[in-house]
């Protein structure tokens, strides 16, 4: 694989750490800032809002820029946002910091997906995207558990200082490894961008993406309090279990890319969403038993992010057919859909925690994942009617 892919992976690692480390810090931040668990969980949703806005809007606005310059500007914004979080005097300023870093995240993964697929042969497109997104999964394996441990032992602010250092390393890596002559996307005019928003086939995939991640994050946002309050683990054990989850995510992400390359995105997504729904349903019952809870979390991780390569390559394929002048924007909207799902899932989880119980987040998450499976099967039926759409 081209070395530029690994530069993208390094940046994805830094960005993935700051996105997901907040999950392990929700109880700590809630206590320190004297806010409720749902309010602390809202920091997950607000970050996702920044991504959802930044992905399509800023991707379109930077369409004429040199791709490397865009990457470097994004990592600079990312570092600034995390430094602000480190120095945030209260809850409101922490919200602003999360929104800023979310803006950088959205553009990075939208242009990164199209750059990754452009660097390799078409039959390796899903694997190339999987390698880039491995940065996210490695962040879950190492960055999130380490960040959670730092936050629990040195305060949550120290976590964001460390993450800003990761962002600086990613900035240097991009400056050194990413070539200057990256192919610039043909900027889409307003008419082409509007076509992306009204293209039914693309909207169905965005719905599939949002539901898939909504199901996961309805439960995952509150994984730390679930492990502490339902499973009976000490807070010091949370980081270790996050490590177990992250290892599984890394395996599932690479496996999901290989499944999509071999069998196509629809067959891969059918298997992954079915497994996700079953695992979340099982977690409803196993979260009250320590060993069973850890085993379920291990299986859950493999399905939770295994859908990323298939979803992203499916959008690129469909956009190439229906909106070829706006493939970057289409990919950016799918990143927005990922994070709309994360945001709505976190808000839904907060409502469930406040009005029902932590245990109910799992079976409701499973029901949402089943909706994603239903949309996937419908898209597969449409592909059989018009196979040239993904040819």
Q: For the purposes of burial, counting CB atoms within 10 Å of the CB of 196, is it exposed (0-12), middle (13-18) or buried (19 or more)? A: buried
> At residue 269, what are phi and psi to the nearest 5 degrees?
-70, -35
Q: CB of 25 within 8 A of CB of 239? A: no
Which pLDDT belongs to residue 322?
72
Neighbour tally for 289: CB within 10 Å = 14
**pLDDT tier, 375 (very low <50, low <70, confident <90, very high otherwise):** very high
> Between helices 156-177 and 3-32, what is the axis angle to 10°?
170
- Would you state the pLDDT for residue 84? 92
pLDDT of 190: 54
Phi, psi of 200 (to 5 degrees): -55, -40
Q: Percent of the chain, pLDDT > 90?
A: 14
pLDDT band at residue 182 under the 50/70/90 scheme: low
Q: How far apart are CA 261 and CA 122, in angstroms?
A: 10
Is the pLDDT score of 391 beyond 60?
no
Q: Which pTM value belongs to this model?
A: 0.71
Express as a percent the part of the chain with pLDDT over 70: 87
CA dihedral of 344, 346, 348, 351, whole degrees rounded to 10: -140
pLDDT: which is higher, 58 or 375: 375
Q: Give mean pLDDT, residues 319-339.
A: 74
pLDDT attached to residue 83:
93
- On the 0-12 / 13-18 / 19+ scale of CB atoms within 10 A, 202 is buried
Q: Is the model's pLDDT at 143 over the cut of 60?
A: yes
Q: What is the mean pLDDT of residues 20-36?
A: 81
Of residues 27 and 388, more confidence is placed in 27
- The domains located in the chain, with CATH, are 3-390 (1.20.1250.20)
Per-residue model confidence (pLDDT) at position 55:
67
Residue 389: pLDDT band (50, 70, 90) is low
């Amino acid at each position: 694989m081209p070395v530029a892919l690994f530069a993208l992976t390094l940046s994805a690692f830094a960005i993935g750490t700051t996105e997901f480390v907040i999950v392990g810090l929700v109880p700590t931040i809630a206590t320190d800032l004297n806010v409720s668990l749902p309010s602390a969980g809202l920091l997950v949703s607000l970050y996702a809002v920044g991504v959802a806005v930044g992905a399509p809007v800023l991707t379109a606005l930077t369409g004429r820029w040199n791709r490397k310059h865009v990457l470097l500007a994004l990592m600079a914004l990312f570092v600034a946002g995390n430094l602000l979080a480190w120095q945030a005097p209260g809850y409101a300023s922490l919200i602003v910091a999360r929104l800023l870093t979310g803006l950088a995240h959205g553009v990075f993964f939208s242009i990164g997906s199209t750059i990754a697929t452009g660097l390799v042969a078409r039959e390796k497109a899903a694997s190339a995207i999987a390698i880039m997104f491995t940065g996210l999964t490695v962040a879950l394996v190492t960055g999130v558990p380490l960040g959670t441990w730092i936050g629990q032992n040195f305060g949550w602010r120290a976590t964001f200082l460390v993450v800003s250092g990761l962002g600086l390393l990613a900035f240097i890596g991009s400056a050194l490894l990413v070539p200057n002559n990256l192919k610039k996307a043909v900027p889409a005019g307003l008419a082409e961008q509007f076509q992306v928003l009204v293209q039914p086939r693309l909207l169905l995939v965005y719905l599939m993406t949002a539901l898939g991640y909504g199901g996961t994050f309805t439960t995952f946002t509150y994984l730390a309090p679930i492990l502490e309050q339902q499973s009976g683990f000490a807070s010091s054990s949370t980081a270790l279990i996050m490590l177990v989850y992250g290892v599984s995510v890394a395996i599932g992400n690479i496996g999901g890319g290989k499944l999509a390359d071999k069998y196509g995105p629809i067959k891969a997504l059918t298997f992954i969403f079915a497994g996700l729904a079953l695992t979340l349903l099982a977690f409803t019952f196993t979260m009250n038993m320590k060993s069973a809870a850890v085993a379920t979390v291990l299986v859950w991780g493999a399905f939770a992010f295994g859908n990323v390569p298939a979803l992203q390559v499916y959008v690129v394929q469909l956009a190439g057919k229906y909106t070829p002048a706006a493939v970057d924007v289409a990919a950016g909207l799918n990143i927005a859909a990922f994070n709309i799902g994360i945001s709505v899932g976190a808000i839904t989880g907060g409502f469930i925690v406040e009005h029902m119980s932590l245990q109910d987040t799992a079976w409701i998450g499973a029901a949402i994942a089943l909706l994603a499976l239903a949309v996937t099967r419908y898209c597969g039926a449409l592909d059989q009617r018009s196979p040239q759409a993904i040819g």
